[in-house]
Amino acid sequence: MSEAEGDSVCVRLHRHGRAAWAAAVRHPMVRELAAGTLPHDRFRHYFEQNISYLEEYVRAVACITAKAPDTEALAILGRIVGQVIDVELPANRAFLTRLGGDPELARGPATMEPTTYAYTRHLLATAALGSCAEGLTAVLPCQWSYGEIGTDIADAKPDDPIYADWIAVFGNPEYAELVEVTTSLLDRLAEPGEESFGRLQVIFDTSTRYEVEFWDMAYRPSDRRP
């Protein structure tokens, strides 16, 4: 049996992009989050960018939802929107406030750094121009990598409550279950054949690289920051 016949689409996407994937889920910023040693100013900058990112992420998922082929797909994509709107965005705004930032100033393309802008334009363009499976492939690395990060560091007990509370957002069975149903949906919706897989691979790898770049952006000091 060949690799294509023996493995699911998501297993193949994950394996073929494993170098960038490892760089994202084992990023130095993630390790410092788990240890509670990350400087607050870097975490604040992360939230200043992530709030704008998540608002565009929701728009991309909403565009994908309009192309859903059946009720099950609609329900799963609706759950993703609900997770971001009801859980992650309120949590991000609360974390930013706790770190001394102003959530009202962290909104829209005008406040985005180039990495945030480029990543969100990739998501929106793929969601608008591609199929439901292609759009889902674009947004999947964000959800999936955070699920893996949350699982990996769920048992970390940093003394700083901000870091402990952030870990709790992703290191729980409910989030892991959402990742599972999302990857299963992509496996079902992806068209068979190597040509289709090749398109998905390019999209998946692009999003994964942007995940690494987003962590880099937040972690590395920038002259543009106050």
Half-sphere exposure of 23 (CA within 13 A, CB side): 14
Q: Any idea what the CATH number is for the domain that residue 90 is in?
A: 1.20.910.10
Instruction: Establish if 76 belongs to a structural domain.
Output: yes
CB-based burial, 142-158: b 16+ in 10 Å, e otherwise: bbbbbbbbbbbbbeeeb
Query: What is the pLDDT averaged over residues 154-174?
Result: 95
All residues at 6 or more sequence positions from 41 whose CB lies less than 8 Å from its CB, including other chains: 225
Kindly indicate the confidence band of residue 225, based on its pLDDT and cuts at 50, 70 and 90.
Answer: very low
Q: How far apart are CA 179 and CA 176, in angstroms?
A: 5
Kindly indicate the confidence band of residue 220, based on its pLDDT and cuts at 50, 70 and 90.
Answer: confident
Instruction: Establish if 1 belongs to a structural domain.
Output: no
Q: How far apart are CA 189 and CA 135, in angstroms?
A: 11
pLDDT of residue 5: 53
Position 146 pLDDT exceeds 90: yes
Q: CA 48, 154, 177, 217: dihedral to nearest 10 degrees?
A: 30
pLDDT of residue 105: 85
Instruction: Establish if 42 belongs to a structural domain.
Output: yes
Instruction: Establish if 224 belongs to a structural domain.
Output: no
* Distance from chain centroid for Cα 216: 14
Query: What is the pLDDT averaged over residues 31-50?
Result: 96
pLDDT of residue 202: 98
**Predicted confidence (pLDDT) per residue in 62-93, tens digit:** 999 999 999 999 999 999 999 999 999 999 99
Instruction: Establish if 60 belongs to a structural domain.
Output: yes
**Taking a C-beta distance cutoff of 8 angstroms, is the pair 146, 171 a contact?**
no
**Predicted confidence (pLDDT) per residue in 193-205, tens digit:** 999 999 999 999 9
Instruction: Establish if 2 belongs to a structural domain.
Output: no
All residues at 6 or more sequence positions from 214 whose CB lies less than 8 Å from its CB, including other chains: 49, 53, 115, 116, 119
Parent domain of 41: 8-219
* Distance from chain centroid for Cα 64: 15
pLDDT of residue 222: 62
Position 217 pLDDT exceeds 90: yes
Instruction: Establish if 53 belongs to a structural domain.
Output: yes
Total domains in the fold of the chain: 1
**Predicted confidence (pLDDT) per residue in 102-112, tens digit:** 998 887 888 89
Q: What one-character-per-residue DSSP string does 57-109 give? A: HHHHHHHHHTT--SHHHHHHHHHHHHIIIIIIHHHHHHHHHHTT--GGGS-SG
**Predicted confidence (pLDDT) per residue in 171-188, tens digit:** 999 999 999 999 999 999
Instruction: Establish if 74 belongs to a structural domain.
Output: yes
Report how far apart, in Å, the C-alpha atoms of 215 and of each of 28, 39, 77, 177 are.
9, 14, 25, 24
Kindly indicate the confidence band of residue 226, based on its pLDDT and cuts at 50, 70 and 90.
Answer: very low
